[in-house]
Structure 1
Amino acid sequence: MPVEPPFNAPETNSSALARIYRVLASIPSGRVVTYGDLAEMAGYPRAARLAGQILRKLPKDTKLPWHRVINAQGRISLPEPGASRQRKRLEHEGIILLKGRVDMAKYRWKP
């Protein structure tokens, strides 16, 4: 299936949004992905920034597991107080952060 570019046309943007939401919803509890992983699984390789932009615009009351997405170094990218909320949610799912970093070999989700 050809991958359409995630920019320009409004219908493309809504397609990217839907694809990223679908992948985000499928990340299992106790697992994490990077922004790049999320974009790639949605069909947009090398579009980590697109994934970040979409997550940044999630509604405050979303049920999507946004907290399971971290940066490529295994760290939380959000500023406070969002970083504390994300850390607490990850820890609640059993994900341990050592010195602010997730062990990607242990917790990274690869479907």
Structure 2
Amino acid sequence: MYILHSFTEQVLKIIKKIPSGKVMTYGQIARLAGSPKGARQVVRILHSMSRNHKLPWHRVINSKGEIGIADEELFFIQKMSLESEGIKFNTYRALNLSVYQFHPEENH
């Protein structure tokens, strides 16, 4: 139980540090939080804790550089939020990770 709590705390800290105009992937966050295979758990944490912790949930996308949300309304909210921060999409769902991905491990 302690490891899960620690992982959750790390995920929350990482997400809170994603700056405006940048994104991170679920898997990248999981790896940095200590669980390389924990991408689905990052999704669950975002889903259950974004509101209470005021997380910039819209800055987390999948490893293809795409918005992975199936719900149409939430998809549009996420896309509009990212575009309002200056992010441009290559396709309807995808952005260029090499331009917009945040790498906190390089910014110590």
**Paired residues for 1:1-111 under 5 Å:** 9=1, 11-60=2-51, 62-78=53-69, 79-99=71-91, 100-111=93-104
Distance in 1 (CA, whole Å) between partners of 2:51 and 2:103 is 27
**Misfit runs of 4+, over 3 Å:** 59-62
Distance apart, 1:59 and its partner CA: 4.6
Alpha-carbon shift at residue 110 of structure 1 (Å) = 1.1
Asked whether the 8 Å contact 2:26–2:39 carries over to 1, the reply is yes
Number of residue pairs matched by the alignment: 102
Unaligned runs of 5+ in 1: 1-8
Aligned amino acid, residue 82 of structure 1: L
Partner SS state of residue 49, structure 2: coil
In terms of fraction of residues, the more helix-rich structure is 2
Distance in 2, Cα, partners of 1:72 & 1:43: 17
Which structure has the larger Rg? 1
1:43-79 per-residue CA deviation (whole Å, 9 max, x = no partner) reads 2112111111111112546521111000011111112
Change (3 A) 1:109 1:62: same
Closer/same/farther in 2, CA of residues 39 and 25 from structure 1, 3 Å limit: same
1:92 corresponds to which letter in structure 2?
S
- Structure 2 portions without partners, runs of 5+: none
